[in-house]
Structure 1
Amino acid sequence: MRSSATLRWALLLAQTALVLGAASKVASIGDLSLEDIDAKLETCSIVQDLNAHKALAADDENSLSSRVFAVLFPGSPAVNALLATLYISGPPNFLLALCPTNIDPSSLTIMVAFAVGGLMGDTLFHLLPEIFLGEPEPGKAKFVLVEPNRNLLLGLAILVGFMTFVAMDKGLRIATGGAGHDHSHGHAHAEEDASAVSSSVDTGKSGTKSRKKKAGSTVAAPEPVENSGPSQSMKLGGLLNLIADFTHNITDGLAMSASFYASPTVGASTTLAVFLHEIPHEVGDFALLVQSGFSKRAAMGAQFVTAIGAFLGTIIGILIQESGGSGAEGGISMTGGLWGTSLFWGDLLLPFTAGTFLYVGTVAVIPELLETGPNKGLELKKTLGQFTAIALGAGIMLYISWDA
């Protein structure tokens, strides 16, 4: 009996020693920087074999997309982010000079569908893999250390980005009495106001005729109703739309800075996705401003003013990244960041951007593509065109990610 009790105590002491030893190893690993951990991994023989195999399999020639991106973005991440902001802000606004003032935003559905494919493709093929796994290095194997709390914070940042746009859209709908920030709301308002004026005029005419039929009545004819221009609700909607555009452009600027500090490929693909979205977005907002009472020149000037928001967001993102707000730099401890993780505030900009892209590509735009009319044949043809445009936009992003 004594020997069995002694054996149990010996086993208990051995288990305690193993637990303490494992805890000390975990603590020592937590004290290491990410750069130190990578260096230790490189000394492992299997990692060296994987690196040699990947280096042999790597293509020495750069892909076409990589060469184009190298020409468009030749500088540092900060310079490239500013260039990208210029690309997404300048050309779409200059294209407004070619747009007629009576353009119908609902006619842009194919272009909007193409933009949806680009945004969702960039989010699913570039941003989310980069957020959770990082960008692969050419000719080198990469290992990812799983931090459960780190992934939770990244998911939380995606949710915050999504809900930020929900709050913006909800606030705009409350302020405008139910009209949201999309590409067709201005046209709907115009039709509602026109129908209201038309019904008022018709009622007046019919009332005049009925009163003339009454014998002995001396009722004066009503004064003609004149269309005095956009209603106050439309004018308010136009002004609030400018505020929403300015805020939306700030998030676009944050996306530019966060993506280029992640990697050149992610930055270039994000720039392309935002650019594809900005063209129908700017045209739709231009049509809304004209319908709200702006002249063509004033509407174009207002759109250029809102573009300042994109540069403001880019500068804010660059300042956060350059001030050491990212945990991607060497010397960062695994537990020295936010809430005991390796993340810093700058690392949350990219998932925040992914959340905003998910909202814009789904909630803000998909309902517009779901609108249908009574002509089934025409709607089927329109739906086929929209799905083709979405597939084309997503396919471009998939090609860039696959070929990068």
Structure 2
Amino acid sequence: MTVLESIVLITALAGITSVLIAATFSVGLLSKMVNNMVSLSVGILLATALLHSLPEAFSMPGTSPQLLFATLLAGLLGFFLLEKIALLRHDHHHEGDGHHHHHGHDAENAGRSGWMILVGDGIHNFVDGILIAAAFMADFQVGIFTAIAIIAHEIPQEIGDFIVLLNAGFSRTRALLYNLISGLSAVVGGVLAYFFLERAHAAMPYLLVIASSSFIYIAVSDLIPQMHRRPHWAESLRQTILIACGVGFVILLSLLH
């Protein structure tokens, strides 16, 4: 098997495996209590962005902190504009029209945060494909271990993604299908890195920052406001505990990684 064939096979397996493992938890169990699990998703998304992806981007050699912060700002504003465009397309339709859906499940507007999380996840998986390809081009065994490590650190983020998709009104089947498609963007990243490794490496920190901006934006603009709609003390305590669990989950797997 050639190096390119190995990269295609392993990046595809890495993208699919992490999604399927996350689906075992998210679709099989967490979807039954998705309202409560929104808090867990907030912890996972923010921890993935702020404790994993952004530090990794800023630690890469040859990067400019000012340019990376500018990219983060551009990403946040970009996702704001994407959501605005989606809202303007449906300004004839509004919540409180008798559908009795909670925020995020409106018949016309459901799915905005879902599509944005898929964009961010696709970019993140693309970067993972670059990492796997670079490792394989150095040594086959290093490539295998890198893929295993990436699968491990992707699992909590994929769980967070599933919760966002289910909360945004996606069916279980659609959430799984679109997450699998997003996972396969790792193959694209791996193949492009095989042919353009130097350029791909140069773009990695900025792609990581853009992906992080989507996780931060969705957590802060969509999920946390939903949580504030349930302000009772018992509910607030449950939300805080679940956010902490999400953060702890990411930290634990990062330490193992």
- TM-score normalised by L of structure 1: 0.48
Offset of residue 315 of structure 1:
4.0
RMSD between aligned alpha carbons? 3.8
Any stretches of 5+ residues in structure 2 without a counterpart? 101-105, 133-145
Q: State yes or no: 1:124 paired with 2:45.
A: no
Greater relative contact order (Cα < 8 A, sep 6+)? 2
Q: How far apart are 1:274 and its partner, in Å?
A: 2.2
Matched residues in 1 for 2:245 and 2:30: separation?
24
2:251 is aligned with 1:398: yes
Displacement of 1:393 in angstroms is 1.1
Please tell me whether the aligned partners of residues 253 and 317 of structure 1 are also in contact (alpha carbons under 8 angstroms): no
**Post-superposition offset of 1:98:** 8.1
CA change 1:158–1:175 in 2 (3 A) is: same
CA deviations over 1:106-144 (Å, ceiling 9, x no partner)? x6333111111111112222112211114xxxxxxxxx6
String of CA shifts for 1:8-57, please: whole Å, max 9, x gaps: xxxxxxxxxxxxxxxxxxxxxxxxxxxxxxxxxxxxxxxxxxxxxxxxxx
Which residue in the other structure is 2:79 paired with?
165
For 1:397, the aligned partner's letter is V
1:383 CA displacement? 0.7
Pick from 377, 388, 396: which aligns with 2:241?
A: 388
* Partner SS for 1:127: helix
Residue 388 of structure 1, CA deviation: 0.6
How does the TM-score come out when normalised to structure 2? Answer: 0.70
Bigger fraction of residues in helix: 2
Q: Which runs of 5+ in 1 are unaligned?
A: 1-74, 135-143, 180-187, 196-233, 290-298, 330-343, 374-378
| Letter matched to residue 257 of structure 1 | F
| Counterparts of 1:113 and 1:313, CA distance in 2 | 27
Distance 1:325 1:364, change over 3 A: farther
Amino acid at match of 1:306: Y
- 1:317 corresponds, among 189, 192, 200, to 189
Correspondence 1:83 to 2:13: yes
* AA of the residue aligned to 1:324: F
Shift of 1:76: 6.8
What is the distance in 2 between the residues matched to 1:251 and 1:132?
A: 18
User: Whose radius of gyration is greater, 1 or 2?
Assistant: 1
Using the aligned pairs only, state the percent identity.
Answer: 17
Distance 1:283 1:244 in 2: 10
Does 2:253 align with 1:348? Answer: no
* Cα displacement (A) at 1:384: 0.6
| Residue from 227, 230, 233 that aligns with 1:372 | 230
Q: Distance in 1 between matches of 2:225 and 2:182?
A: 26
